[in-house]
Amino acid sequence: MMATKKTVVLYPGFGVGHLTPMLELAKSILRHGGGAALAVAVALAEPPATYAAGFHAAVARAQAANPSVSFHVLPAPAAGELREEEEPLVTILRFLRDTTAPLRDFLRSRRPPAAALVLDMFCADALGVAAELALPAYFLFPSGAAGLAVFLALPAARAAVGAGGFGSLGADAVLTFHGAPPLRVSELSQGLADDGESCRAMLRVAARIPEGARGILVNSFEKLEPRAMEALRDGRCLPDRPTPPVYCVGPLVSPGGAAAAADRHECLRWMDAQPDRSVVFLCFGSLGAFPKHQLAEIAAGLESSGQRFLWVVRSPHPPAAVAGEESDESLDELLPAGFLEKTKDRGLVVNSWAPQVDVLRHRAAAAFVTHCGWNSTLEGVAAGVPLLCWPLYAEQKMNKVRIVEDMRLGVGMEMDGEGFVTAEEVEKKVRWVMEGDDGEVRELRERVAKAKELAAEAVEEGGPSDLAFVEFLKDLLEASHQGVVHA
């Protein structure tokens, strides 16, 4: 008689940037856990109406691409709508807290029962459900080892600065964290500097995770962030309590290339006609939309640079900016008059979405202008392209510092205090990374090529990330047999 498979339930909350690494984690569990007869289910919170555009289409795409994974959409709690006086992050965390009841009902209904629960960082309130059901609970931290080192240290760091909070130190004040480069207050994750409700909510999450997690998975690899991993293992980020085991299991990125030839996106067919290492790719994530005056500056800079480019443009107006769906506004409406015609022989602009992994891994890709979201950062590293860093929101300013100063795999775009980048800066940096032949740019290309090799080696059988994943699954199976959780 065939043994019943143990099911690992993944709970990413909602948001493309949080779902994407969870899906790659699901594939890794199935790949590594075949002998252990593991199955994977993904529980997804039905988002509030404000964030719901495109949700079901995204779930359908995920199901189609991952037929071995079961997907379950949890009913949204009645209290999940946006409140005008509330900051978006507070709404998200409150919504996910309210969704713990539907999650509990889902887990209780499973036959056979779930063996373990893997949570997104924003789903810390689900630790109570895990404890109630005697499920071992792990977290997938979506922003790398240095991001985790800073995140875990935040409650103690905030307490040390006194009543005024981080913002009282001034935007240019420098903070130091074990395992991370020095950070200005202005480079902390969005919402931390003003000491408002978003800051307090984030601090509560940061304090809760090490109290209840049996282990933390990090989407990174040892040789990309050795200093951060050393600090985490030594317990220096949490001096007043034990640090849960940290498993560095990345890069959890799609290998790409899954689409059949007939279904290849138009931009890939366009890239097929371009010379090797000749195209700069500009893409700013699922929420990376710019006002028209900034789009005009980017267009002018690309035109003046003379370089080949592929540019993903999102409408600055919802729902496209939220949902990642095509905008009703045409590219002609969004971009300066005549730009598309003048650059048609060396550039392509696509509306709202492109298959980023496939673009970055295409032989014609030479550089990546990115918002520094961690998924995009790892996809660029794994593809071996230099990064031109243009952070927009969330923890992206901190990621930019890590990319430029710690990893040394990219350079920053100069911007003013409002995040505005001029056409001259776009032209300058694009020309430099595409045409430059000085020692600095040659060394950058060499480091990027080496990082690509190390990323591939990390996830090969017997590589450090592969071995860390084996250790994680061993602990998960032991914990599920015992029916205990880390408290």
Q: Which residues are catalytic?
A: 18, 120
d(CA 43, CA 130): 14
d(CA 84, CA 90): 11
Could you list the beta-strand ranges (E) of 25-145. Answer: 38-45, 70-74, 116-120, 137-141
Alpha helices in 66-189 (DSSP H): 88-98, 100-109, 127-132, 144-161
59 Cβ contact partners less than 8 Å away, ≥ 6 residues apart: 44, 71, 73
166: nearest Cα among 179, 180, 176, 152? 176
Region for residue 118 given its phi and psi (left: phi exceeds 0; alpha: psi -120 to 50; beta: otherwise): beta
- For the chain, how long is the longest CA-to-CA vector? 69
Distances (CA, A) of 422 to 179, 295, 414, 415: 33, 10, 8, 8
The two tokens of residue 371 are 């918002």
Using an 8 Å Cβ cutoff, are 479 and 116 in contact?
yes
Using an 8 Å Cβ cutoff, are 327 and 453 in contact?
no
Region for residue 483 given its phi and psi (left: phi exceeds 0; alpha: psi -120 to 50; beta: otherwise): left
Beta bridge partners of 348: 310
User: Residue 355 in 3-state DSSP?
Assistant: coil
Q: How many CB atoms sit inside 10 A of residue 425's CB?
A: 17
d(CA 223, CA 227): 9
The two tokens of residue 481 are 């047999």
Q: At what angle do helices 374-383 and 16-32 cross, to 10 degrees?
A: 50
Distances (CA, A) of 448 to 381, 408, 456: 7, 8, 13
Kindly report whether the peptide bond that precedes residue 112 is cis, defined as omega within 30 degrees of 0.
yes
Measured in whole angstroms, the distance separating CA 384 from the mean position of its chain's CA atoms is 18
d(CA 247, CA 140): 9
401 Cβ contact partners less than 8 Å away, ≥ 6 residues apart: 181, 183, 187
Using an 8 Å Cβ cutoff, are 142 and 119 in contact?
no
